[in-house]
Each structure stands twice: as C-alpha cells, then as structure tokens.
Amino acid sequence: MSVTDQHGNIFSIFNDLLKADYGIWLWEPYTEQLYFNSHYLTMLGYSNAEFPYNIATWKALLHPDDANNIVPMQFKIIGSAEYGESFDTRFRMKTKNGDYMWVLSRGFVVCRDEHGKAIRLAGIHIDTDTSEAIVNKLAIQHERMRFALDTARDGLWDWSPATGEVYFSPRYVEMCGYQPEEFPQRVESWIERVHPDDIEATVTKQLEFVNNPEMGDTFECVYRFLAADGSYKWILGRGKVTRRDAEGKAIRIVGLHTDITELRNTQESLAHLINHDTLTGLYSRFYFDEKSRQLKEKHYPLSIIYGDMDGLKLINDNLGHATGDTLLKTAASLILQGTRGSDIVARTGGDEFTLLLLNCSGNAANLILERIQAAIDIYNTTPDVLPVFISFGLVCANENNTSVNKLVSQADKNMMNTKLKNHPENLAIIRAWIEKRLGSEIDIADTRLAQVHSSS
C-alpha cells in the first residue's frame, strides 16, 4: 500500500489512486484526523514519523500570512454548502528544512451530514513549480478521486458514554438498510448488531478506550455488522474522543462508519484465487509453498504424501481436456475423503498432488493414505466409471532439521517406486476404457516413466 501503515485503512478503498506521484489528502473535521499519501510528505521533506496526522499540525505549517485567509475559507465550506463544494487555492507551507514552498491545493467536500456540515473533504496537493500540462492532467485525476470517494459516503455517530446518549445520522442508519424506527438512537442498537466473533476486538476494545486515556484519543476497527436483510456488512469504524473528564473517562466521542463490504469481498476473492487451484478447489502451489515456509517446531512430526496420477496425458490426448479436467476434479474429491480437516491438500502440478500433514506421525500418515486409497478403490468398482489411479509416496520427519523441498523430493522418489509396480496395469485399464469410447486402438507413451526405467 502506498500510504502509511499507521493510517492506511481509510485509503485502502482508493489504493489505485494513492499510487500517484502527487500529494493526496483526506480530512475528517468531526474526528479532526488528516490523512496523506506518502508523496504528500515527501514533497515537504518529512517522514511518516515526523508528521502527526491531525489538522492542528497542518495549520502550524501554513505561512502566517496565508493562514488568515485559508483557514477561515475552509471552515466556511465545512459549515455550509452555500459557500460551495470545492476550492482551488495557493498558499505556502513550511518544509522540513525551514523554507516555505508554494503549493496548489484543490479540494472538495465528499459528503455532508443532515445539517449540511462537511463530514469528509479530500483533494490533491501540487508543487506550483509543476508544469501546466501536468497540472491539467492532475485535474482529471482529481475528478476520478472525487468520484471514487463520493461512492463511499459515511455514516456519522456521536456518543456520550456518561449519559448513554447517542446519535446516528440518517446515512448511518440507511447504510445497512434500516428505517429510523428500526434503529433506535441508543448504543445497544450498535452493540446488538456487531457480529459475535467481533465483539471482543470491537465493542470490548472500544469500552476500554472510553475508560482508559492511555489508549489514546483515536481508534480504528474493522468488523462485521448485521444489515436489515440478515446479511453481514464489513464496516470500517473510526472514532475520536473530543473530551474527557478529570478522571480521564471519555465524555464525548464522535466517529464515522464506512461500508467496506465490496472492498473486503474483493480482497477475499483475490486471496482465494491466489491460494486455491481454480479447477479442483484444492490449495495452490503458492499456498503450499507459503505454508511450508511458515513451519515451526510445534508442527512436527510432519508427514508429506506426494501423489502422481496415471493416464492424465492419455485422457487429454484422446478424449480432450474437458474429460481430463473431470478426472482431476474426481481425484481431488477422492483424496479429500481420506484427509483430516487440518491437512493442506494442494495441486502442485498438472497431475501432481502434495499433502502437507502437520502434527502427523508416520503411522498416522499411513492411515490417512490407506483411507485415500480405499476411497479410490471403492470409486473404481462402479461400473464403467472414468478410472482414477494415483501413485503415492510418503515421507515423515520427526524434527525440523530437513527442508520441505528435500522431504517432497524424497516423497516423489517413494511415489515413483510405487508407480513402477502399478503403472502398467493401471495404464492398461485406462487404455481399455478410452478405446471402448473411441471404438479404436490408441498408442501409449509415458515419457516420465520411460526416463525412470532407463535410469534404474
């Protein structure tokens, strides 16, 4: 992500825009938070750690002669739409070396509350030495950002923990499909709809934040929230304590509630595509390798089963890849019947399967392999079924002193020993099955097995 880790969540929705080589800012007046992408800070010479993310720090960097004009203008726009929804202004900002830089700031109101006050503003920040051509190009990017941000309107909430008074804006209520009468203005309306699995990280943490000033005055959390239609939406919640009492307990907190369901679903879909084989639904080679790199001593004894199918190339060459795909999916299903829920079963090659069995002794792995083979044997007894034959090799390591790659290599060798014994008979059955469908004889060529024969 191109923004800071500290405040990256809010910008993740607009990640493609934030990779830009110009400054982007986003300001939330209610929480007083001000966010920047990395180029904004680079332009002024600051690092992430040197630039606190709040509006007061930003104001302190304005040239005194400009602050008297810029700040009142911006607060007028925040207060009412009658002063406009956008601004285009030039002013000087203090850089890290103490000099002042002239910048062009183009900003706009993303959304307002029901009283007309701006909840969020966003814009771009450009060095005025930038050429006019680039400025014009950035104007187009500015409109793209405005559109993207405009589609992510937020709900406002305002809570007084001491009295129990709470306010949810109409947008907050509408966001999850509720009518005002279905969502009373009380904090329980929120708590009751937080997913049970997220209560600890969200509700409990937020109550601690209320009572403990050492936790700071701002927070962010991502959680699931029950919508009116019974589904759960992913919500990005942010809040800021505006006042604490003498004992440090929060008197008032204001915040924003953003629906990030589409973003979350997109991320999960991409993660699933990366981590799973699209044909069989098993784990991918990438996922297998990642899990292999993460192994710890606590995962041992560790067993690996390596499987290689018989006859896939023969099926593909004579009946087409659609039939070959059916064979692979059937094989994957049969393998899963014999494994434990915790086992990592991956398709690591065209016709190759590798099983990573954590906390599994050699004896336990042998039982798993027996169950898999039994499932395959039972399947193959069905009359006229597409035959499935897989040769397996097993290896076990009791201690973390051998690389997974070496263990897989040994399991592969053990598999080939099994394949040499069973392959001719298996291939003959597959050949007969194919010829029955084609009504003619076919040639058999298995290059890999021929190489093993020649080297043994």
State the pLDDT at residue 418. 92
Tokens of 253: 């907190």
In which domain, by residue range, is 99 found?
8-150
270 assigned to some structural domain? no
Give the tens place of pLDDT for each residue, 300-311.
999 999 999 999
Same domain, yes or no, for 303 and 449? yes
Number of domains in the chain: 3
Lowest mean pLDDT, pick from 137-151, 250-264, 329-343, 417-431: 137-151
In a shared domain, residues 253 and 302? no
Is pLDDT at 143 greater than 70 in this prediction? Answer: no
Does 126 map to a domain?
A: yes
**Omega cis (within 30) before 301:** yes
Amino acid symbol at 418: T
Give the model's pLDDT for residue 445: 56
Q: Which residue has the higher pLDDT, 203 or 24?
A: 203
Q: Which two tokens stand for residue 441?
A: 């004889």
CATH code assigned at 280: 3.30.70.270
The answer on pLDDT for 48 being more than 60 is yes
The answer to whether residue 3 is domain-embedded is no
Q: Is residue 106 part of a domain?
A: yes
Whether residue 373 is found in the same domain as residue 440: yes
Lowest mean pLDDT among 20-34, 140-154, 189-203, 415-429: 140-154
Q: Is the pLDDT of residue 254 over 60?
A: yes
Could you tell me the CA-to-CA distances from 171 to 45, 56, 253 in Å, in that order? Answer: 39, 28, 18
Final residue before a domain boundary, out of 90, 122, 150:
150
Is residue 242 domain-resident? yes
Top-confidence residue, 47 or 98: 98
Q: In angstroms, rounded to a whole number, what is the distance separating the alpha carbons of residues 284 and 349?
A: 9
Domain identity same for 305 and 436: yes
- Can you tell me the distance from the alpha carbon of 33 to that of 36, in angstroms, rounded to the nearest whole number? 10
Q: Are residues 142 and 187 in the same domain?
A: no
Which pLDDT belongs to residue 17?
42
Last residue of one domain, picked from the residues 238, 265, 292 = 265
Instruction: Verify that 280 and 406 share a domain, yes or no.
Output: yes
Same domain, 250 and 293: no
pTM of the model: 0.50
127 and 189 in a single domain? The answer is no
pLDDT digits (tens, 9 = 90+) for 339-393: 999 999 999 988 999 999 999 999 999 999 999 999 999 999 999 999 999 999 9
CATH of the domain at 220: 3.30.450.20
More confident: 378 or 170: 378
* pLDDT given for residue 6 in this prediction: 33
What confidence category does residue 116 fall into, taking pLDDT thresholds of 50, 70 and 90? confident
Query: Do 290 and 414 belong together in one domain?
Result: yes
How much is the pLDDT for 233?
93
* pLDDT at residue 66, as a whole number: 87
Q: Which position has the higher pLDDT, 16 or 402? A: 402
Q: Considering the domain boundaries, does residue 368 fall inside one?
A: yes
Residue ending a domain, choose from 100, 116, 150: 150
- Mean pLDDT (the chain) is 82
Quick one: the chain helix, strand, coil %, rounded to 5? 45, 25, 25
In angstroms, the CA 176 to CA 195 distance is 14
Whether residues 442 and 299 share a domain: the answer is yes
Q: Tell whether 2 is covered by a domain.
A: no
